[in-house]
């Protein structure tokens, strides 16, 4: 008989277990799925390209965010981390996949970029290896792969790591026409014991989840052609949110 739950962390781990074997998509226990995903670099995957999100480029070009300390969550092959480093940011970049981190480190070496890469679970690293607070927390494609209960962990990470006056730059699956990701209600993911490839979000749901932050911009990502210097796909939302207060 199992009667071991006595903390919020115990509850989180129990809920994680309901999604096995998908749990290694957001926990450090396996990450095997993502290692397999990144092992073949020749695959036609939109975000394998070595160029930054058009939204991130836009925020910087318009002066909505300025160089400082940045944390790139789910960095993948490092395309956005590299762009931030090239503009003078001090960057920590995290991914579950050793394959992704290896690829990102190779790209950084080729570019002469000084980036601290961390392989592991950002929620666990937040209390150890990560050196917050950060002026920018950037997330292109990590948030929508979390099960609903892990939003609590995500918000706790922001509370701990995002500096007063700092920004969250988020890119995630969009619901509705031309969107991507599952639109099932949260409870149904637990009934189905799967995430259906990722969760789609509405603007209203994102505003509610990040209601402790101030919305700067929330829109569809622009569709960028293949020859564009930046990445953009309209099945994604991109948003910029600011934490209240000022660094002191």
Cis (ω within 30 of 0) for the bond into 21? yes
Q: What is the pLDDT of residue 246?
A: 67
C-alpha 17/C-alpha 9 separation (Å) is 12
Q: What is the pLDDT of residue 248?
A: 41
Q: Is 113 helix (H, G, I), strand (E, B) or coil?
A: coil
Give the long-range contacts of residues 187-196, CB within 8 A, separation 24 or more: 189/19, 189/147, 189/148, 190/15, 190/18, 190/148, 193/18, 193/19, 194/19, 194/22, 195/19, 195/22, 195/25, 195/145, 195/147
Segment 183-199, tens digit of pLDDT: 999 999 999 888 888 99
In whole numbers, what is the pLDDT of the chain averaged over residues?
Answer: 91
pTM over 0.85: yes
Q: What percent of the chain has pLDDT over 70?
A: 94
Give the long-range contacts of residues 44-51, CB within 8 A, separation 24 or more: 46/231, 46/233, 47/76, 47/79, 47/140, 47/141, 47/231, 48/77, 49/79, 49/231, 50/77, 50/79, 50/82, 50/107, 51/79, 51/83, 51/228, 51/229, 51/230, 51/231
Q: What is the pLDDT of residue 3?
A: 86
pLDDT exceeds cutoff 80 at 215: yes
Q: What is the pLDDT of residue 39?
A: 76
- CA-closest candidate to residue 240, choices 172, 182, 149, 146: 172
Domains and CATH numbers, the chain: 71-242 (3.40.50.150)
Segment 77-86, tens digit of pLDDT: 999 999 999 9
Q: Which residue reads 């050196």 in tokens?
A: 131
């Amino acid at each position: 008989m199992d009667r071991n739950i006595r903390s919020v962390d115990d509850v989180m781990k129990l809920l994680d277990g309901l999604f096995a074997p998908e749990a290694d998509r957001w926990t450090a226990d396996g990450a095997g799925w993502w290692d397999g995903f990144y092992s073949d670099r020749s695959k036609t995957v939109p975000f394998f390209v070595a160029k930054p999100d058009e939204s991130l480029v836009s925020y910087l070009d318009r002066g909505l965010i300025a160089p400082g300390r940045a944390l790139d969550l789910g960095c993948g092959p490092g395309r956005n981390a590299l762009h931030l480093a090239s503009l003078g940011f001090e960057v920590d970049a995290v991914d579950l996949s050793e394959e992704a981190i290896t690829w990102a480190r190779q790209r950084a070496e080729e570019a002469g970029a000084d980036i601290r890469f961390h392989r592991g679970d950002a929620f666990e690293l937040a209390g150890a290896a990560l050196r917050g607070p950060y002026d920018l927390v950037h997330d292109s494609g990590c948030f929508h792969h979390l099960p609903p209960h892990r939003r609590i962990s995500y918000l706790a990470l922001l509370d701990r790591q995002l500096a007063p006056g700092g920004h969250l730059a988020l890119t995630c699956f969009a619901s509705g026409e031309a969107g991507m990701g599952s639109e099932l209600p949260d409870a149904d993911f637990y009934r189905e014991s799967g995430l259906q490839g990722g969760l789609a979000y509405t603007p209203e749901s994102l505003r509610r989840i990040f209601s402790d932050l101030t919305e700067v911009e929330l829109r569809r990502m622009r569709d960028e052609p293949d020859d564009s210097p930046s990445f953009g796909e309209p099945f994604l939302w991109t948003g910029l949110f600011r934490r209240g207060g000022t660094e002191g």
